[in-house]
Amino acid sequence: MAKKKDDKKNISQKPKKKRSAASTQKHLDIAEIREDAIIMNDGTLRSILLVSSINFALKSEDEQNAIIASYVNFLNTIDFPLEIVIQSRKLDIDAYIDKLKLIQREQKNELLKMQTVEYTQYVRELIEIGNIMTKRFYVVIPYNPMSDKQKNFFKRFLELFRAARTVRLGQKRFQQRKKELDQRVDHVVNAFSSIGLKSVKLDTQGVIELMYNTYNPGVSERQKLTDLSKLQIEG
């Protein structure tokens, strides 16, 4: 008997070329992060402050009025815009858990070691079940060497439709602009201190971590950002 020919044809498929994914950086307004400052695509700079909070409701009426008066006075002393950002994130206890594990390994008493293991597990379950969130308050301070008041209408109109392009500032010009920005930062920090708020400027590592957690909220919970010295930033 003649063998039946197989109806199925063996078709060799060439492997499809994977398209190189566009870098996220190309879609952001951030051109560079240098010396604790953010350089935007338009050449302006930004600094970010991490600010503490005040339980306003627990203050007396006199204290509340004093805080409001200090805040109003602060707003009247600045001639530049500020951006206040509030972020809610799931409480990160990884560093605390690592510390407990270290205590567990170094513990000589077996009973205390077992209790440490149980306590570590209890804390993990408490965070997971309770879905405990934490709030962080940031203040973004800008510096624009050419304010909008100094630009004519035609130039501002063109900027709305101009494609964003990466601006690379020379070190001399960058230092001049950063000096002006740092003066604004010092003014805001001192003003917040008079209100009773503690604030600290984010360094380069802190800014990169904030941007990473902001633009990758899901991934950042599973994959922590490495130290700045170990990062490979695309040029």
Rounded Cα distance, 90 and 133, in Å? 4
**pLDDT of 82:** 92
> How many angstroms separate the CA atoms of 193 and 111, rounded?
47
Condensed to tens digits (0 to 9), the pLDDT of residues 44-58 reads: 899 999 999 888 889
- Pick the most confident of 158-162, 176-180, 225-229: 176-180
| 3-state DSSP assignment of residue 29 | coil
pLDDT digits (tens, 9 = 90+) for 110-137: 888 889 889 988 888 887 776 777 889 9
Of residues 18 and 137, more confidently modeled? 137
Query: Which pLDDT band holds residue 61 (cuts at 50, 70, 90)?
Result: very high
Give Cβ neighbours of residue 144 (< 8 Å, ≥ 6 apart): 44
> Which residue has better confidence, 52 or 216?
52
Residue 107's alpha-carbon distances to 89, 95, 96, 102, 114, in angstroms, are 33, 18, 16, 9, 10
pLDDT tens string 153-173: 555 545 444 434 445 668 888
pLDDT digit string, tens, across residues 70-98: 999 999 999 899 999 998 877 777 788 88
Residue type, 35: E
pTM above 0.75, yes or no: no
Q: What is the pLDDT of residue 24?
A: 60
pLDDT the model gives residue 199: 93
Query: What is the pLDDT at residue 224?
Result: 61
User: What is the pLDDT of the chain when averaged over all its residues?
Assistant: 78
